Amino acid sequence: MAVTAVTSGGESTIREQVSPEEWEVRVDLAAFYRVVAMHGWDDLTGTHISAKVPGEPGNFLLNPYGLLFEEITASSLVKINLDDEVVLEGQGGYPVNAAGFTIHSAVLGAREDVTCAAHTHTVPGMAISAIDEGLLPMHQKAMRFYKRISYHDYEGVATNLDERERLVRDLGGNNAMVLKNHGLLTCGPSVRTAWLLLYNLEKCCKVQLAVEASGGTPIMPSEALAESTYKQYDTMGVSSRIDGWDSLKRMLDKTDPSYKH
């Protein structure tokens, strides 16, 4: 991987080299990593969450490969471009995950409407990814994904850049995807929207596994009801003041505000 700009040092060094808009995204993205760790959805140093850099087409932020999610800060994030070149090293000089580059460069490079993308290897997510039926619209939360969730066949560890074309094709215009035999992916126009989708998708996977483990017969809604419920979610919107994201950041500020550093 080529390095076009090498920077080392602390928060002040990184912060002085980026715009206020980028720094705000860095803080939000670092918070996303911490919240994923707080919920137990991390996978040691594996998996990744990305965000585009405002005002810098083709540049995005990705986690430093080698840090746990609970260690990631705004300054440690790596700025990389779609050509697999490091534009600005994060504090500590860590590299990025090659599979992370493949997946996130595909999504961020192809979707102008997407600012943030997240990929996880949770137990419920991987379990749903390994069964034929995928995610079923058996309850209210799952109906928000009714016919709006994509599926991508497993091709091995995602280090082959040719896979990007198929990832983009399979995702289409949806903001959620099950990577078969692998895990989950969500994306959205902001960090908070990608987080909210991931939270709901994760819960949907847990509920489905609980229902199937119960041995009971699921009460499946009609297609018409599932579709109308999706449209309710699509049209009602959620105020940024009540979607829980700001509350989670306040919780981080109380327990460990180091993500902002």
Taking each helix axis from N to C terminus, what angle separates 98-110 and 163-171, rounded to the nearest 10 degrees?
50
Given this model, what pLDDT does residue 127 score?
98
pLDDT digits (tens, 9 = 90+) for 216-241: 999 999 999 999 999 998 887 655 55
Tell me whether residue 177 is in a domain.
Answer: yes
Q: What is the mean pLDDT of residues 64-68?
A: 97
Tell me whether residue 5 is in a domain.
Answer: yes
Same structural domain for residues 131 and 86? no
| Cα distance between residue 149 and residue 253, in whole Å | 33
Given this model, what pLDDT does residue 2 score?
33
* CATH number of 60's domain: 3.40.225.10
pLDDT digits (tens, 9 = 90+) for 166-199: 999 999 999 999 999 999 999 999 999 999 999 9
Write down the pTM of the prediction: 0.92
| Cα distance between residue 46 and residue 143, in whole Å | 29
Q: Where are the extended beta strands (E) located within the chain?
A: 2-3, 48-52, 59-62, 78-81, 85-88, 116-120, 150-152, 176-179, 183-188
Same structural domain for residues 117 and 200? yes
Tally of domains in the chain: 2
Same structural domain for residues 120 and 190? yes
Q: Which domain holds residue 21?
A: 1-96
Same structural domain for residues 117 and 235? yes
Confidence band of 9 (pLDDT split at 50, 70, 90): very low
Same structural domain for residues 118 and 81? no
Are 9 and 75 a contacting pair, CB within 8 Å?
A: no
Given this model, what pLDDT does residue 236 score?
73
Tell me whether residue 88 is in a domain.
Answer: yes
